[in-house]
């Protein structure tokens, strides 16, 4: 039996490794268009921040190891252009240009996502770069070092933009951030968004909100990002306005697409063709709160889905519950975490959201180093269910968010959550954990 | 209507405040034997560690505030000796010796717990002190400062003993710890216990295990703790061998007792007398994993139970789910956290425990400051349920434990827990959170 995988990143290599481990007799072929496999994409901003770290340190496992130790037929520089579902083959071109064709019994599409690039003049100039693949990371790091970058413009203010902003500031690079929408972190309660915004400004990051982009121009040795309200100049421009799923291959093969044009998969990661699976940033998922399809491309899901595909291919039927949209990022000294739905998302899914914003402390009364933790919690008035939590603070936020995430998987009510026996010791929080305080306050409004 | 409360600490004052807030017309009388109310008992070791902090900083709210702002009839220096359930009165003595009698419609017993003191010679000598009440904290702090303590012996190695050990070391005081049982942290997996033990030894704490205590003697200006295998000398002796519930009053009134002789209460915190509630360290609780009664005296439960009693007294029927035994403590640079059952406890409750011990990292691959996190996870082979988690590490442990705690409240399976969408970003953990890695490994053994 032959298991062919398109894409050698998180989902693809997780699936390949696990399938081969479970069934050493299985023929596993991985077709990866680039030369990089199995690297920590999420680690790139932290690596770029550190002039002494080699970008190659992000490679988790060498291609050689997959080939020689694990017996995976890993073919880098192989770009797939088409899937023939009738003949069960995929075809494409090698980096050199040669055509190739590979057949399959089971196929996994793990083609990931690509950075969105605004369709405006100048976004293809040298020094205008997105960050998604290791090649991008290498390019940015080399560019910074080769050109002695002093000032950068970041287009976008999502979490990749914020992580890169911190990375550049750590290297002493001045940062202007710009985006068309007038609201900073629109998915976040304004009080929380304000705290994050202030943290950026405290680190000398200039935020330009509500500026419609017109294009990028070269101006001497520098680049000018032109907006409807003036231009921003930098030695480089980082484009971080979001990503799109790489679903063209799947679409071309007639597979159904889901939200955001991600490849539609069932809980077993099967596409609309029973012999084809999809996993990772190119595929959709069920949201455990709404039960609806969603597209939230994150690393844990990619790894987990890759494993689940391997199990399903090798004969162990596995079905995944779904995602809660749990995420965390660091913005200088702040931890910003979320799980579940915002009030707006909740309303769009037919809930009747009630929310509360509370301030608490990261440590107990009388502990000298206590800092503020802000919790925004959302519940459903009709069912009493917990729907989502957003949290911001300097410590104890990143791991706290996992408790309500588990609650969301269990379709827990706010009342049940409020009764949970959470850990307490003075160095780690107040007697009533900030999340319990939020739940107790939210209950009063429901 | 009159609500009388015996005991003015966490459970008692929480109940008094909340009842008065809900029903301002309610007559609320609190009888507290000491002069201290509403202080952070758990904060004492940290306060004692700091020579510049006043012990009075631990007082959360002054008696005056309860009396004048909240309208609570708070009577300190009132020790209750007897409850007459027929006539619905309590009686006792004032500090001065005068008798008093107070009637009630609803009574709350919130008498707390007292430190266990071994029944051996010398445990009543000056300089031999337990730590439970604020009076004890004051006494220890004054004793350290008045006598320029250089060396202390701690009898016991539980979490109070460990927190006090750290506090004394922070003040440059040499510490010997001694206990009769041969095993350090017997409730913990040996690998975890070993890490905690090493952390203590790295901070120059001398641990004497398996030494039967014979008594304490005065020896010049010092105290000698005599054991079957030699004596340990110190300028003070801290006794931290555990606590016992203060249930004598309840027992004297004919109320039923539960595990460890704590006062037996139902989920509404009612004792076997329908007009009498009990809450806090003197009362038992249901364990959410076993469904059985248990006695785990911790601060959050005391506060929460106090609130629930207030609600039940003021007409809002409240029933509490129970406790999961979630706890965390700091031991120098380590965070030690647990929730649920150990394999031994699980077996005693009729489960068929399977457990796994894993090592993971506090941050992602390629993050320079990553440290080791060890997770010990227990599941039930028959039902597949998650039964308990123990975790040790230098960061990210204290709040991670809340996720499995929520899972225990929900009677979640290990498989369901392994599917949870937990937060990931490189500064805060690996893609697969250590708890997920543990769950995935545990599943293989189940």
Cβ <8 Å between A399 and B396: yes
* DSSP code per residue over A113-134: EEE---SSTTTTSTTEEE-SSH
Q: Does some domain include residue B83?
A: yes
Q: Are residues A258 and A301 in the same domain?
A: yes
Cβ <8 Å between A421 and B40: no
Q: Given a cut of 80, is residue B380 above it in pLDDT?
A: yes
Residues 314-333 of B with CB under 8 A from A: 320-330
Angle, in degrees to the nearest 10, between helices B402-409 and A402-409: 30
Residues 249-268 of A with CB under 8 A from B: none
pTM of the model: 0.96
Q: Does some domain include residue B318?
A: no
Tens of pLDDT, residue by residue over A9-67, are: 999 999 999 999 999 999 999 999 999 998 889 999 999 999 999 999 998 888 999 99
Q: Given a cut of 90, is residue B60 above it in pLDDT?
A: no
Tokens of residue A382, six digits: 């009709």
User: CB of B114 within 8 Å of any CB in chain A?
Assistant: no
Q: Does some domain include residue B20?
A: yes
Q: Given a cut of 80, is residue B207 above it in pLDDT?
A: yes
CA distance A74 to A32: 8
Do residues B285 and B21 make contact, with C-beta atoms less than 8 angstroms apart? Answer: no
Cβ <8 Å between A426 and B320: no
Q: For residue A368, what pLDDT band results from cuts at 50, 70 and 90?
A: confident
CA distance A359 to A371: 10
Sign of CA dihedral B425, A206, A199, A213: negative
Q: Which of A42, A287, A406, A444 to substitute to test the interface with B, most B CBs within 10 Å?
A: A406
Q: Does some domain include residue B319?
A: no
DSSP-derived letter for residue A202 is H
Tokens of residue A198, six digits: 């202030």
CA nearest to A17, candidates A307, A282, A313:
A307
Q: Are residues A167 and A273 in the same domain?
A: no
- End-to-end distance of chain A based on CA atoms, in angstroms? 55
Question: Could you tell me which residues are beta bridge partners of residue B375?
Answer: B358, B391
Tens of pLDDT, residue by residue over A298-328, are: 999 999 999 999 999 999 999 999 999 999 9
Predicted pLDDT of residue B368: 82
Predicted pLDDT of residue B365: 77
Q: For residue B141, what pLDDT band results from cuts at 50, 70 and 90?
A: very high
Q: Alpha carbon of A285 to those of A98, A281, A320, B134, B331: distances in Å?
A: 35, 10, 9, 54, 42
- State the residue range of the domain holding A154: 117-239
Nearest chain B residue to A339 by CA: give it: B423
Q: What residues in B contact A364, CB-CB < 8 Å?
A: 40, 42-43
Radius of gyration of chain A from Cα atoms?
Answer: 23
Interface predicted TM-score (ipTM) of this complex, two decimals: 0.96
Q: Does some domain include residue B146?
A: yes
Q: Are residues B223 and B287 in the same domain?
A: no
Judging by DSSP bridges, how do beta strands B27-32 and B73-76 pair with one another? parallel
Q: Are residues A357 and A254 in the same domain?
A: no
Cβ <8 Å between A43 and B365: yes
- Residue where the block lists tokens 């003015």: B8
Q: Are residues A250 and A106 in the same domain?
A: yes
Q: Are residues B354 and B432 in the same domain?
A: yes
Length of chain A, please? Answer: 446
Q: What residues in A contact B319, CB-CB < 8 Å?
A: none
CA distance B61 to A114: 56
Tokens of residue B261, six digits: 């002789």
Judging by DSSP bridges, how do beta strands A106-109 and A276-278 pair with one another? parallel
Q: Are residues A193 and A214 in the same domain?
A: yes
Q: Which of B313, B346, B361 is the last residue of a domain?
A: B313
Cβ <8 Å between A328 and B423: yes
Q: Does some domain include residue B424?
A: yes
Q: What residues in B contact A366, CB-CB < 8 Å?
A: 40, 43, 46-47, 53, 57-58
CA distance A414 to A252: 45
Tens of pLDDT, residue by residue over A180-233, are: 999 999 999 999 999 999 999 999 999 999 999 999 999 988 999 999 999 999
Do residues A127 and A236 make contact, with C-beta atoms less than 8 angstroms apart? Answer: yes
Cβ <8 Å between B421 and A403: no
Distance from CA of B183 to the nearest CA of A (A): 24
Q: Which residues are CB-contacts of A2 (< 8 A; sequence separation ≥ 6)? A: A26, A27, A28, A29, A103, A104, A105, A106
Q: Are residues B217 and B296 in the same domain?
A: no
Element (H, E) at A195: helix A190-202
Q: Given a cut of 90, is residue A149 above it in pLDDT?
A: yes
Tokens of residue A152, six digits: 């950068």
B369 compared with B250, residue with greater pLDDT: B250
Cβ <8 Å between A402 and B435: yes
Q: Which of B283, B313, B343 is the last residue of a domain?
A: B313
Which candidate from A364, A367, A421 shows the least CB-CB separation from B323?
Answer: A421
Predicted pLDDT of residue A110: 98
CA nearest to A30, candidates A17, A21, A45:
A17
Q: Are residues A134 and A235 in the same domain?
A: yes
Q: Does some domain include residue B430?
A: yes
Predicted pLDDT of residue A84: 98
Q: What is the CATH number of the domain that holds B303?
A: 3.50.50.60
Q: Does some domain include residue B321?
A: no
Q: Are residues B233 and B126 in the same domain?
A: yes
Nearest chain A residue to B324 by CA: give it: A421
Cβ <8 Å between B423 and A401: yes
Predicted pLDDT of residue B153: 98
DSSP-derived letter for residue A62 is -
Do residues A379 and A355 make contact, with C-beta atoms less than 8 angstroms apart? Answer: yes
> For chain B, what is the domain count?
3
CA nearest to A324, candidates A347, A345, A310:
A345
The sheet with strand A276-278 has its strands ordered as A73-76, A27-32, A2-6, A106-109, A276-278
Burial letters for B5-21: b for 16+ Cβ neighbours within 10 Å, e otherwise? bbbbbbbbbbbbbbbbe
CA nearest to B75, candidates B58, B96, B55:
B96
Q: Which of B290, B313, B336 is the last residue of a domain?
A: B313
Which candidate from B301, B326, B422 shows the least CB-CB separation from A326?
Answer: B422
Count chain A–chain B contacts defined by CB atoms under 8 A. 224
Q: Are residues B214 and B300 in the same domain?
A: no
The sheet with strand B276-278 has its strands ordered as B73-76, B27-32, B2-6, B106-109, B276-278
Dihedral Cα A152, A157, A161, A162, nearest 10 deg: 100
Distance from CA of B136 to the nearest CA of A (A): 18
Cβ <8 Å between B330 and A427: yes
Tens of pLDDT, residue by residue over A157-187, are: 999 999 999 999 999 999 999 999 999 999 9
Do residues A365 and A394 make contact, with C-beta atoms less than 8 angstroms apart? Answer: no
The sheet with strand A89-94 has its strands ordered as A78-84, A89-94, A99-103
Q: Given a cut of 90, is residue A96 above it in pLDDT?
A: no
Burial class (CB in 10 A: 0-12, 13-18, 19+), B118: middle
CA nearest to B112, candidates B224, B220, B11:
B11
Distance from CA of B379 to the nearest CA of A (A): 17
Q: Are residues B126 and B98 in the same domain?
A: no
């Amino acid at each position: 039996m032959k298991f062919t995988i398109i894409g050698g990143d998180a989902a693809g290599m997780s699936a390949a490794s696990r399938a081969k481990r479970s069934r050493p007799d299985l023929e596993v072929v991985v077709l990866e268009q680039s030369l990089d496999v199995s690297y920590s994409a999420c680690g790139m901003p932290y690596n770029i921040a550190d002039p002494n770290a080699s970008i190659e340190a992000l490679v988790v496992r060498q291609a050689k190891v997959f080939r020689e130790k694990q017996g995976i037929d890993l073919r880098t520089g192989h770009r797939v252009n088409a899937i023939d579902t009738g003949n069960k083959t995929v075809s494409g071109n090698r980096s050199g240009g040669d055509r190739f064709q590979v057949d399959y019994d089971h196929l996994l599409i793990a083609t990931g996502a690509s950075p969105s690039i605004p369709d405006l003049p100048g976004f293809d100039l040298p020094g205008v770069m997105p960050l998604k693949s290791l090649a991008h990371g290498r390019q940015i790091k080399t560019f910074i070092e080769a050109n002695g970058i002093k000032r950068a413009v970041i287009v976008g203010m999502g979490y990749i933009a914020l992580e890169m902003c911190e990375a550049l500031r750590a290297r002493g690079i001045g940062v202007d951030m710009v985006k068309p929408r007038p609201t900073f972190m629109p998915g976040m309660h304004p009080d929380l968004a304000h705290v994050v915004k202030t943290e950026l400004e405290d680190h000398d990051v200039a935020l330009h909100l509500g500026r419609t982009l017109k294009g990028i121009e070269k101006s001497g040795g520098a680049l000018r990002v032109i907006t409807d309200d003036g231009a921003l100049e930098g030695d480089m421009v980082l484009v971080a306005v979001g990503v799109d799923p790489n679903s063209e291959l799947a679409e071309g093969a007639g597979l159904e697409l889901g939200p955001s044009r991600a490849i539609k998969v069932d809980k077993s990661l099967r596409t609309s063709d029973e012999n084809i699976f999809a996993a990772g940033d190119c595929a959709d998922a069920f949201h455990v709160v709404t039960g609806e399809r969603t597209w939230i491309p994150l690393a844990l899901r990619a790894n987990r889905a890759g494993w689940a595909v391997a199990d399903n291919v090798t004969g162990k039927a596995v079905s995944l519950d779904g995602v809660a949209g749990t995420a965390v990022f660091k913005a200088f000294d702040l931890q910003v975490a979320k799980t579940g739905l915002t009030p707006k998302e909740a309303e769009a899914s037919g809930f009747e959201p009630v929310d509360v914003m509370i301030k608490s402390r990261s440590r107990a009364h009388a502990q000298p180093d206590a800092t503020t933790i802000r919790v925004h919690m959302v519940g459903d008035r009709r069912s009493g269910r917990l729907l989502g939590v957003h949290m911001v603070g300097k410590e104890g936020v990143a791991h706290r968010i996992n408790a309500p995430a588990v609650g969301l998987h269990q379709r827990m009510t706010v009342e049940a959550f409020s009764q949970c026996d959470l850990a307490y010791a003075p160095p780690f929080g107040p007697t009533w954990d900030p999340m319990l305080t939020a739940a107790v306050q939210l209950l009063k409004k429901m």
